[in-house]
């Protein structure tokens, strides 16, 4: 029991992933700044932002008390659970439970749902635009994302257990070293961008058109929780991709190198692309991304 | 000095309220975000929504319409919220003070914590003003 709590709250869970997530968020801001030839914030910036938000007044819109305040926590708790499961399955691959991949996939949708619920309960018209965009975005990227995860599952012999997928990659090489693996990985990276709400697909939070959209009415503590959720997502989803596609050598040095590599790719995509409209996003994900993912699944079934 | 205040001074999120300025001040404020000045070094960023803001930055002379909006913006901001008046217009209305559509100055509508005069103030002057504001908070 104590061990479980420790896992959930401290080591692979809450504290650890929050620290890594904030540092990764700093890396994102710093590299973006360097790309734009600026200096960028100091390394502790995200921690300070979080601390400051905790000290601010929390304003709750009329008639929205419970859902408005609870939805950020819903998102946070589910992301912590995901990071715990992932961290444990990397450390002790044999102890993972049957079907935890499916649990992880479901839990990863909950932060988006929490955002939608919170935004709609605030009653702000711009927030409701943001919520409807977020909803369409979830519908758009889930299909290609799950197809690319299925490719990884097929490549590792039909195992839907993170530990088994890792073990299979240990003995037969990473999933990415094959044609289908490469295609599925590319699709997964693009979906990652949408899941994290980064630039080409950040319509739901578009600062310039709808003023932070879904987050517009949030202030103080709930806003801090949403920022924290975003930071932890920035840690968990790349790690999930590493487990699924790059699982050959997971000693700490390699793990960190792979994580930073994926982070760099995300940041470069973010800094070199303009924002897509929601209809373009939908067309992109249900068109080319899904077709690519289906091709990857078929290739994987043929054994390429 | 407590931790809350220290965190506040290290990460000021600014909401930019343009109360009918001539837009020169606004251009100078945008200059602060460019590579040459880059205020993100100090953790200062522009916030999209007033609910996220720590600083309400006002430029221009309020007229009958923007006066009401400014008052409501200040009421909507989560406290502690500082107000900074940028430009001679926002500081004291200068030559517009007898104008038919200028009912009041900014500091008659909201409590201003720092005045940065100049028409428009240089980006260096704005940074110096914000540093002075942070120092006055620390005491
Ligand atoms: S202070 Fe000068 S530059 Fe700024 S808004 Fe007024 S007239 Fe324009």
Based on the number of CB atoms within 10 Å of its own CB, is B111 exposed (0-12), middle (13-18) or buried (19 or more)? exposed
pLDDT in tens, A197-230: 777 777 767 666 667 777 878 888 888 888 888 8
Report the residue from A49, A219, A223 with minimal CB separation from B11.
A49
Examine the pLDDT at B139 and tell me if it is beyond 70. no
Distance CA A51, CA B16 (A): 23
Q: In angstroms, what separates the C-alpha of B51 from chain A's closest C-alpha?
A: 5
Please tell me the total count of domains within chain A: 1
Distance CA B82, CA B57 (A): 8
Alpha helices in chain B (DSSP H): 3-10, 24-31, 64-76, 88-92, 123-138
pLDDT at A116: 87
Q: Is the CB of B58 under 6 A from ligand 1?
A: no
Q: Which residues contact A19 (CB under 8 A, 6 or more apart)?
A: none
With cut-offs at 50, 70 and 90, classify the pLDDT of residue B4.
Answer: confident
pLDDT at A174: 74
Distance CA B95, CA A119 (A): 45
**Of A127-131, B1-5, B20-24, B41-45, the least confident:** B1-5
Measure A214 CA to ligand 1 centroid, in angstroms: 34
Measure A216 CA to ligand 1 centroid, in angstroms: 30
Examine the pLDDT at A193 and tell me if it is beyond 80. yes
Report the residue from A33, A58, A212 with minimal CB separation from B52.
A212
3-class DSSP state of A276: coil
* Rg of chain B, C-alpha, whole Å: 14
**Per-domain residue ranges of chain B:** 3-138
pLDDT at A206: 66
Q: Is the CB of B106 under 6 A from ligand 1?
A: no
Residue corresponding to tokens 């050959």: A248
Contact A223 B8 (CB under 8 A): no
Q: What is the mean pLDDT of residues A237-242?
A: 88
pLDDT at B1: 58
pLDDT in tens, A249-291: 777 888 888 889 988 998 888 888 888 888 888 888 888 888 9
With cut-offs at 50, 70 and 90, classify the pLDDT of residue A44.
Answer: confident
pLDDT in tens, A75-86: 888 888 888 888
Nearest CA in chain B to A48: B7
Mean pLDDT of chain B: 85
User: Range of A119's domain?
Assistant: 2-301
Based on the number of CB atoms within 10 Å of its own CB, is B75 exposed (0-12), middle (13-18) or buried (19 or more)? exposed
Mean pLDDT of chain A: 83
pLDDT in tens, A87-124: 888 777 777 777 788 888 888 888 888 888 888 888 78
**Of A37-41, A126-130, A143-147, A165-169, the least confident:** A165-169
Stronger pLDDT, A5 or A31, i.e. the higher one:
A31
Q: In angstroms, what separates the C-alpha of B45 from chain A's closest C-alpha?
A: 10
Q: Which of A178, A180, A153 is nearest to A166 (CA)?
A: A153
Which residue CA neighbors atom 6 of ligand 1 most closely?
B89
Rounded to the nearest 5 percent, the helix, strand and coil shares of chain B are 45, 15, 40
Could you give the dihedral angle defined by the CA atoms of residues B8, B9, B12 and B16, in that order, rounded to the nearest 10 degrees? 110
Adjacency order of strands within the sheet including B82-86: B45-46, B13-18, B55-59, B82-86, B114-116
Q: Tokens for A17?
A: 């992933």
Based on the number of CB atoms within 10 Å of its own CB, is A208 exposed (0-12), middle (13-18) or buried (19 or more)? exposed
Which residue CA neighbors atom 3 of ligand 1 most closely?
B120
Largest CA distance in chain B: 47
CATH class of the region B3-138: alpha beta
CA distances from A301 to A18, A151, B10, B113 (A): 38, 8, 54, 67
Contact A45 B3 (CB under 8 A): no
Q: Which of A286, A260, A112 is nearest to A197 (CA)?
A: A112
Distance CA A15, CA A20 (A): 9
Distance CA B11, CA A88 (A): 35
pLDDT at B109: 85
pLDDT in tens, B121-138: 888 898 888 888 888 877
Largest CA distance in chain A: 58
Contact between residue A142 and residue A112 where contact means Cβ atoms under 8 Å apart: no
pLDDT at B47: 83
Q: Tokens for A284?
A: 């992109």
Which residue CA neighbors atom 8 of ligand 1 most closely?
B22
- With b meaning 16 or more CB within 10 Å and e meaning fewer, what string describes B15-40? bbbebbbeebbbebbeebbeeebbbb
Contact A48 B10 (CB under 8 A): yes
């Amino acid at each position: 029991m104590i061990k479980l709590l420790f896992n959930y709250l401290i080591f692979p869970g809450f504290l650890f992933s929050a620290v890594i997530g904030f540092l990764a968020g700093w890396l994102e801001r710093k590299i973006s700044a360097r790309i734009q030839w600026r200096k960028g914030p100091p390394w502790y910036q995200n921690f300070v932002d979080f601390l400051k938000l905790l000290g601010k007044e929390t304003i709750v819109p009329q008639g929205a008390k419970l859902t408005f305040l609870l939805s950020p926590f819903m998102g946070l708790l589910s992301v912590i659970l995901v990071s715990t499961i992932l961290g444990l399955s990397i450390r002790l691959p044999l102890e993972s439970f049957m079907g935890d991949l499916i649990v992880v996939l479901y839990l990863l949708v909950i932060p988006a749902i929490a955002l939608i619920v919170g935004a709609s309960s605030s009653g702000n018209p711009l927030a409701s635009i943001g919520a409807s965009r977020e909803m369409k975005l979830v519908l758009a990227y889930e299909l290609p994302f799950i197809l690319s995860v299925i490719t990884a599952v097929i490549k590792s012999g039909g195992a839907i257990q993170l530990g088994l997928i890792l073990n299979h990659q240990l003995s037969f090489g990473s999933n990415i070293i094959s044609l289908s693996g490469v295609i599925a990985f590319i699709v997964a990276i693009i979906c990652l961008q949408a899941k994290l709400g980064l630039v080409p697909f950040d319509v739901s939070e578009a600062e310039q058109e709808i003023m932070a959209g879904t987050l517009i009415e949030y202030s103080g503590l709930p806003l801090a929780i949403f920022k924290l959720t975003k930071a932890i997502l920035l840690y968990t989803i790349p790690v999930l991709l590493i487990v699924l596609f790059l699982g050959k050598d997971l000693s700490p040095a390699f793990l960190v190198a792979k994580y930073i590599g994926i982070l760099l790719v995300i940041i470069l995509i973010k800094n070199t692309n303009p924002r897509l409209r929601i209809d373009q996003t939908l067309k992109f994900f249900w068109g080319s991304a899904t077709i690519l993912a289906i091709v990857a699944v078929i290739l994987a079934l043929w054994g390429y | 000095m407590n931790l809350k205040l220290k965190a506040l001074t290290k990460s000021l999120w600014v909401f930019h309220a343009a109360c009918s300025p001539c837009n020169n001040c606004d251009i100078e404020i945008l200059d602060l975000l460019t590579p040459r000045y880059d205020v993100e070094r100090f953790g200062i960023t522009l916030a999209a929504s007033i609910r996220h803001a720590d600083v309400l930055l006002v430029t221009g002379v309020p007229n009958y319409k923007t006066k009401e909006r400014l008052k409501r913006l200040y009421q909507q901001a989560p406290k502690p919220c500082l107000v900074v008046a940028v430009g001679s217009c926002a500081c004291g209305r200068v030559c517009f003070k007898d104008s038919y559509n200028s009912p009041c100055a900014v500091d008659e509508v909201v409590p201003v914590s720092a005045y940065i005069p100049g028409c428009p103030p240089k980006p260096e002057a704005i940074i110096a003003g914000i540093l002075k504001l942070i120092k006055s908070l620390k005491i």
